[in-house]
């Protein structure tokens, strides 16, 4: 009797071992790693991003940029709005453009460009992804840019909505 139980259990164990590994999600991809933005982490994000961006700009021969409170406010509004719309795009739920958002926060300079992202990535991973894409790399390294605004909105699931606004 024990042999029969063992003989029946062995194929069942073999089939169980063939199941999907625990580190794969329902889409067949690894589940996202959650970047938990705590208050302690949050304070350093803009400065880590700024240092990374200015390093890229220096290597490309472009001047350094500085954080700007008005641009941060425009970026924050858009990050939250993208989350509410559940789609990454450059237009607000009210039809506003990046330029409209700069006008609303009273920014007196010009718009150089905007980069957006829907991800679970850190600020530096997001910067690296933007730097790899030719369209956003051109904006990041624009010699016209002198100011930036960076903001994010994190959903309870951990998903992040990043917005970077570059101005002059």
Residue 95 lies in a domain: yes
Residue 155 lies in a domain: yes
Question: Among residues 4, 7, 35, which one has the least CA distance to residue 158?
Answer: 35
pLDDT tens, residue order, the chain (168 aa): 455 544 444 444 444 444 444 577 677 877 778 898 999 999 999 999 999 999 999 999 999 999 999 999 999 999 999 999 998 989 999 999 999 999 999 999 999 999 999 999 999 999 999 999 999 999 999 999 999 999 999 999 999 999 999 999
Enter the pTM of the model: 0.81
What is the CATH classification number for the domain harbouring 76? 3.40.33.10
Burial zone of 107 (CB within 10 Å; 0-12 exposed, 13-18 middle, 19+ buried): buried
Domain of 98, in residue numbers: 39-167
- Count of domains forming the chain: 1
Question: Among residues 80, 79, 74, which one has the least CA distance to residue 106?
Answer: 74
Contacts of residue 29, defined as CB under 8 A and 6 or more positions apart, other chains included, come to none
């Amino acid at each position: 009797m024990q042999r029969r139980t063992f003989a029946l259990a062995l194929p069942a164990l073999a089939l169980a071992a063939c199941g999907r590994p625990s580190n794969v999600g329902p889409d067949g991809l690894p589940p996202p790693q959650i970047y938990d933005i705590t208050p302690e982490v949050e304070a350093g994000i803009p400065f880590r991003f700024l240092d990374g961006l200015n390093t890229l700009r220096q290597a490309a021969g472009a001047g350094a940029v500085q954080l700007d409170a008005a641009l941060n406010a425009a970026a924050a509004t858009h990050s939250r709005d993208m989350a509410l719309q559940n789609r990454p795009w450059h237009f607000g739920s009210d039809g506003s453009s990046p330029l409209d958002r700069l006008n609303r926060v009273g920014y007196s300079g010009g718009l150089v460009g905007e980069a957006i992202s829907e991800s679970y990535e850190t600020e530096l991973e997001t910067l690296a992804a933007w730097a790899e894409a030719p369209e956003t790399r051109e904006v990041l390294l624009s010699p016209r840019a002198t100011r930036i605004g960076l903001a994010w909105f994190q959903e309870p699931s951990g998903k992040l909505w990043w917005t970077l606004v570059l101005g002059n």
